[in-house]
Amino acid sequence: MNNIVVAENLSRSFGRTEALKEASFAIGEKRCIALLGPNGAGKTTTLSILAGLLEPSSGNLKTSGELSGDRRQWMGFLPQQPAFFGWMTGRETVMTAGRLCGLSATEAARRSEELLEAAGLKDAAHRPVAGYSGGMKQRLGLAQAVIHRPRLLLLDEPVSALDPIGRRDVLEMLAVWKQEMTILLSTHVLHDAEQICDELILMNKGQVVMQGEMEQLRQAAGKPFLRVVAEESENASRWIAGLRDLPEALKVEEERNQCRIETDDMDALRDKVLRSALDQGVKLRTFEVGRKSLEIWFMEALRT
């Protein structure tokens, strides 16, 4: 995998508070990476350093060879509270952003129309930004941040302040864009990260706790399990007691009319359990396949 940015031992302090302590991580190409951590973990500081708004007190950033020079040229950034000139219209905002990023006037105009359409702001494009709602501003912020087709898009809490509909809109836009560029977004909500990100960088108290693929972390978080609940009867109790003997069952917790089975081979286990339930005429009430959630793992990781 190609890394476009590698951070080595980044530190930054504001006066006496150390916002970031020796953070090291790598950002690969065409991925969606979540910078996850509770408030005050150093996420915004990390993003500001990457965007070039802050200088690190120590440590350095290495960018891949082909991307030498001013990194602002191939980066897009959206801060936590996107700020725009209230007197500009939506279209002017996106146009100005494009022109400042070095696009020609015609190219900027073409991209603006495209992005305003994608952001659902076509009808509001001629209105001053001062009258936009929070969700509209966020979508406008996203549109203007990608106008120059950046290789790396940095988003600080892009969905935290949005209502469910605004959140869905933004996540949908990001899902499309992550095929073209790397997206690094910070969030304190694991659920948002799980929805679109491939990779996770977990931060706490200014330090990087761990970095890894979302799927790997999910695997590491715990084995998949099957939970069944049957309607109470003698038959059902006998059936549940018998599940213990299935060869796929690694660990079984049972309790009268319900049980929870951990396994490595979910497909085989699911088949057998369903079939035997039908054969023996057991009335199932719940049949659930799951995994120990990252949420629990996340809480544990932060505590240590």
Partner 1 sequence: MKVYGVLLVKELREALRTGKLIWLPAVFVLLGLIQPISAKFMPDIIAAAGSLPEGAMIQIPIPKPGEVLGQTLSQFGTIGVLAICLAYMGTISGEKRNGTAAWILVKPVARLAYVASKWTALCLIVGFAFLLGYGGAWYYTNLLIGVADAATVAVSGFLYFAWLVFVGTVTIAASAWIRSPAGAAFSAFGFAIVLQIVRGLFENRLSWLPSGLNNAAIAGLAAGETPSWAVAASVTAVCVMALITIAVKGANAARL
To partner 1, the closest distance from the beta carbon of 148 in angstroms equals 8
- Beta carbon nearer to partner 1, 93 or 204: 93
Q: How far is the CB of 72 from partner 1 (least distance, A)?
A: 4
54 is a contact residue toward partner 1 (CB under 8 A): yes
Residue closest to 147 by CA, chosen among 203, 107, 184, 183: 107
Q: Smallest distance, Å, CB 83 to partner 1?
A: 3
Residue ranges in 98-157 that form contacts with partner 1 under rule CB under 8 A: 99-102
What is the Cα–Cα distance from 247 to 245, expressed in whole angstroms?
6
User: What is the DSSP secondary structure assignment for residue 161, as one 8-state letter?
Assistant: T
- Six-digit token string for 157: 């809490």
Helix (H, G, I), strand (E, B) or coil at 95: helix
> Facing residues of 224 across strands?
291
Closest CB to partner 1 among residues 59, 212: 59
In contact, 47 and 41? CB cutoff 8 Å: no
Cβ of residue 12: shortest distance to partner 1, in angstroms?
11
Contact 46, 35 (CB under 8 A): yes
| 206-225 positions binding partner 1, by CB under 8 A | none
Helix (H, G, I), strand (E, B), or coil: what is residue 157? coil
CB of 96 to partner 1, least distance (A): 6
DSSP symbol at 104: -
Name which position in 7, 19, 34, 51 contacts partner 1 (CB under 8 A): 51
Out of 25, 77, 225, 239, point to the residue binding partner 1 (CB under 8 A).
77
Binding segment for partner 1 among 89-97, 202-210, 222-230, 264-272 (CB under 8 A)? Answer: 89-97
Strand partners, 210: 202
Choice between 45 and 263, CB closer to partner 1: 45
Strands 58-63 and 224-230: what pairing? unpaired
Query: Which residues of this protein are in contact with partner 1, per CB under 8 A?
Result: 51-54, 70, 72-73, 75, 77, 79, 81-85, 87-88, 92, 96-97, 99-102
